[in-house]
Structure 1
Amino acid sequence: MQWWNDLISWLDSSAARPTIFAAAVLFVAVLAAGLLAAWIASGAVKRVVAQRDRELKTAAIAALVDAATEASVWNSLTPQEQVLADRAVGQADILVRTLPIRGADVAANWAAHQLHELKRASATFGYQLDPAVVEFRDRLLEWQRRPSRTKRQFQNDLDRWRSQRQEPEQAMIEQQDAWVATQHHERFSDADALAETRTVPLDTGAPQTAPTTPLAPSAAGDATR
């Protein structure tokens, strides 16, 4: 206990005050430096995460807009191109649903409905629907900038479409879509079959004879002599 008493006595003495003050200043400086370093590191990590989120959002929205462009000319695509386009749409849908944005599921449902309508419009009108694609793009960009506000608009659209849907009319639309898909597949199948028949050479089965060349007049006279 003697050393403890000596320490207390030294701390109470005037000679220890400069040392205690220097130690306190050093402690505060180290603590402030640690807090500042932690704040800088946290800000840097947040900026990196925010940049990564923006890249993911941009990639997902670009994939959906590209899918909308292909959906607007859906009826002019070959069946193989339609399969590839559907795969791209599926990947874009997963990207949107996993985005760290409020209402990502609602936006994915809204985009799926709009892509389906673009496909149906392409089968009906047969040309690219530029205004519809532009509106689709603008709505998604607005959702990226204002997620909360656009989420309510998307949800209102989904509720309105759900209330307008009627079972007999929906069944008729599904039958029409199936008929259009069948006609599209048959059209491209017939075109492929016609292309194959044009590329296959015709085999008549007739014997091949070597071409004959007429004799020159002088040679013919010599032959008669």
Structure 2
Amino acid sequence: MPRIRQLAALTGAAALALTAVGAPAYAAGTEIHRTDTSPHALFAGNAQAGLLGNLVVNGGGTTTCTSATLTGSVDSDGDPLTMSSASVSGCSGIASAITFLNLPWTGTVQRTTGTTHDAIITLNGFSVRATVTLFGLTVNCTYGGTATAKGYNATNAARPVTSNNQAQVDMSGVTITRTGGSFPCPSSATIQTGAFQLRGEGSTAGTYNVPLEVVTPGQP
């Protein structure tokens, strides 16, 4: 049973894909700005979300992962958002491999109003697989669906990591559903803690140092 609980937790950790929060009130339109220009200019291009602290997942037990990265691109109106690569590592447990499937995933960034967060990030069609060897047998557990997470601007005091002055994505509270595999694959797992900083790619390819924000059109 302890190993099954570990499997439940680690399989959840595999699914970075993160679904969160209740129904927001969407603003009339979305613009993504870079905040290192005056006035703030529209941003469209490659962007990366990097883990702040640890990713903690509960699924009959607790697993802590120390590294995770999501990389893709976004248009200046938040649509489309494309996630082209994703990885997670530094996880304890019994999984021999964690693999993200069916990339790229597509989705949107949408400005919200009347909420403590500034945006909702949605990804459609995400899918992940945890490969576990148990008693000499290899078990593949897959999870997927539509994922949503809360987005925060750097100026929002409610952002999950206040010591970090970047736009952030909060994945806590996510429940991940099994799409393939049988016992001992758990039916679901929940991300307890998972905050990411979000930055755009600068003039040097592969360097993500452009600070971003999500605003309503017409905002400076």
Q: Name the TM tier (shorter chain).
A: under 0.3
Between structures 1 and 2, the one with greater strand share: 2
**What TM-score do you get using the length of structure 1 for normalisation?**
0.23
**What TM-score do you get using the length of structure 2 for normalisation?**
0.24
Higher-RCO chain (CA-CA 8 Å, sequence separation at least 6): 2
Between structures 1 and 2, the one with greater helix share: 1
